[in-house]
Amino acid sequence: MSGHEGHEWWQSAVLYEIYPRSFKDTTGDGVGDLQGIVEKLDYLSDTLGVDAIWICPFYPSPMADFGYDVASYRDVDPMFGDLETFDRLVARAHESGLKVIIDFVPNHTSDQHPWFIESRSSRDNPRREWYVWRDPKPDGSPPNNWLSVFGGSAWELDEHTGQYYLHSFLKEQPDLDWRNPAVKEAMFDNMRFWLDRGVDGFRVDAVLFSMKDPDERVNPPNTEGLQQLHKPLGAYGAQRHVHDQGHPDIHGVFRQMREVLEEYEPPRTSLAELHIFDPKQLAAYYGGDLDELHMPTNFGLLKAPWSAAGIRGAVEGLEAAIPKPGALNWVLGSHDDRRLATRLGEDASRQAAVLLLTLRGSPTLYYGDELGMREAEIPPGRQQDPWGMAEPELGRDGCRTPMQWSADPGAGFTDSPEPWLPVGRDYAERNVEAQLADPDSLLNLYRRLLQLRRGSAALRRGAYRTVGGVPRDCYAFARSESLERVFVAINFSAAPLCFEATGVSGRIAVSTHRGNEGTEVSGSLRLQPHEGVVLV
Ligand code: GLC
């Protein structure tokens, strides 16, 4: 993708997250499928122009957690297609210059996975040790106070064998025991299965959960209100999760996982989900010799206040902490978070596009955020997310509604009168077709930014430097590579700003306010309320 010596594609790739249930349905059952992704590859590679896609789980699954409960790591759920369609997807994506990253769920399987069915069948089954089984306390209660992220105890009693098994998420998602070498090897082999089929890397799900305290000590209460995710955590937030995840032994697993990825030529990559907000702590997961995770996910922007100081602080903190040439990752939306446009509003959605596509590193764009898709209100009775059923304010259905392709019934997503989640109410106005026809649309802003980024070595791999001496409500930075220099400024206030700053000169190549594009700037810059500009 860059081909520049020492610079790997993933260090600056724009990654596009696809929630396959909601992207494009080609069978008319109201659920998206792999063939749907194949049919939309042109949109991704040409119309939009991203570098890579990350596809959320499509493995056979009872869908208790919509695919994050895997019943077979080596197949495709018939609802999504088959292996042949997957192979075609990879081949076509590669022909279009897109890399393919797939979700890998190491911490837990489905309770319907053959390993777990065997494991729970008797105490002396050889697979018993593949999961975490423990005796009840003398009073019959669970072995310790660990909680499930989705609510309640993390331990479920199996009446038949009289022991509890551990599940950090739903009880239908039993945790594998990664301290068992046989589990580790089997899971690495599952990764090789997909690497052999040509995938370019994995998004590794909930990865810190794979190593717990070997003594299984109780978690202390969260008396200081420590934030452990980028959103409030319901009942789970009442504890400090120091013993049920993130044990330092996880670093050994990451090093081995990296070795597996490097068995391939060219080496494959990892984007790994972890919720660590202290940049110095996050840095540790790259590995001392950059020999662990390629891209530990950085959710810092989701938590940062949407202000010049807030965003500058989040960026500078990460820039300072991550060892070069480690790849920075930037996230402002995902299948687990409220929609960006709903959280931050219309103006900020445009600023977010400028920010994500000009910072150093690899941003992840969540499908539909390029249209400003809104968090949908899901009527009672249509809710799907198990987390939302347990704790309604944490439900994730609203950000998972069908992609809005056109004003056709079903938003061009499906022919079914009943898609698995209702389409957003605004689909007739907010859709790909309509936004392509409107030069001022958010989608066209994304397209211009992506096009600029593709042609600019400074934006792809240039150094980052904060530009000082700008008004309090402005965040400005420069990216430079050899003689090329790009200057970015974002006005976070509702008032215009005019200022002079050294080095502010060039042409406005892209602006959130399209009418200002093409303007030559020299010495002083005028920004409209909420305007973000990229000067070349
Ligand atoms: C991750 C996924 C989330 C899933 C959970 C359990 O956090 O992003 O969607 O529910 O892991 O696998």
User: Over the stretch 179-204, which tens digit does the pLDDT of each residue have?
Assistant: 999 999 999 999 999 999 999 999 99
- 374 near 343, Cβ under 8 Å? no
Taking only the tens place, the pLDDT of each residue in 317-341 is 999 999 888 899 999 999 999 999 9
What's the mean pLDDT in 147-168?
96
Ligand 1 contact via 337 beta carbon (within 6 Å): no
Task: Give the residue numbers annotated as catalytic, written as ranges.
Answer: 205, 263
Residue 332 CA to ligand 1 center (angstroms) comes to 16
Contact 336 CB / ligand 1 (< 6 Å): yes
- How confident is residue 214, by pLDDT bands cut at 50, 70 and 90? very high
Report pLDDT digits (tens) over 36-61.
Answer: 999 999 999 999 999 999 999 999 99
Q: Token pair of 241, please?
A: 């999760």
Q: What pLDDT does 195 receive?
A: 98
Split at pLDDT 50, 70, 90, the class of 2 is very low
pLDDT(88) > 80: yes
Tell me the mean pLDDT in the region 229-238. 76
Residue 13: which residues within 8 A CB-CB, separation 6 or more? 1, 51, 52, 99, 362
Q: With bands split at pLDDT 50, 70 and 90, how would you rate the model's confidence at 229?
A: low
Question: Six-digit token pair at 184?
Answer: 């580790």
Atom 2, ligand 1: residue with shortest CA distance: 205
Helix (H, G, I), strand (E, B) or coil at 94: helix
Judge residue 255's burial from the number of C-beta atoms within 10 Å of its C-beta, 0-12 exposed, 13-18 middle, 19 or more buried.
Answer: middle
Q: 21, 54, 169, 236: which to mutate for ligand 1, most atoms within 8 A of CB?
A: 169
Residue 501 is given by DSSP the state E
206 lines ligand 1 (CB under 6 A): yes
Question: At a CB cut-off of 8 Å and minimum separation 6, what does 47 contact?
Answer: 432, 436, 447
What is the three-class DSSP state of 514? Answer: helix
How confident is residue 232, by pLDDT bands cut at 50, 70 and 90?
low
Whether 292 lines ligand 1, by a CB cut-off of 6 Å, is no
CA 267 to chain centre: 21
59 in contact with ligand 1, CB cutoff 6 A? no
Domains of the chain by start residue, with CATH:
4-106+181-211+246-446 (3.20.20.80), 114-166 (3.90.400.10), 462-535 (2.60.40.1180)
Question: In residues, how long is the chain?
Answer: 536
Atom of ligand 1 nearest to the CA of 108: 12
Most informative mutation of 59, 61, 65, 172 for ligand 1 (most atoms within 8 A of CB): 65
Q: For residue 508, what are the β-bridge partners?
A: 535
Q: 183-186: long-range contacts at Cβ-Cβ below 8 A with a sequence spacing of 24 or more?
A: 183/130, 184/253, 184/256
pLDDT in tens, 373-403: 999 999 888 999 988 888 888 899 999 999 9
Q: Is 327 in the pocket of ligand 1 (CB under 6 A)?
A: no
105 lines ligand 1 (CB under 6 A): yes
The average confidence (pLDDT) of the chain is 96
Q: Residue 511 in contact with residue 531, Cβ under 8 Å?
A: yes
Distance of alpha carbon 204 from alpha carbon 216, whole angstroms:
24
Nearest CA to ligand 1 atom 11: 206
pLDDT on residue 48: 98
The predicted-structure confidence for 485-509, as pLDDT tens digits, reads as follows 999 999 999 999 999 987 788 999 9
- Above 70 in pLDDT, residue 231? no
Instruction: Give me ligand 1 centre to Cα 168, in Å.
Output: 10
CA distance 139 to 136: 7
pLDDT tens digits, one per residue of 344-354? 999 999 999 99
- Res 1 pLDDT > 50: no
Residue 338 Cα distances to 151, 295, 375, 377, 443, angstroms: 19, 23, 6, 11, 19
Distance, CA of 378 to CA of 441 (rounded, Å): 26
Identify the pLDDT of residue 230: 62
Query: For position 393, what pLDDT does the model report?
Result: 82
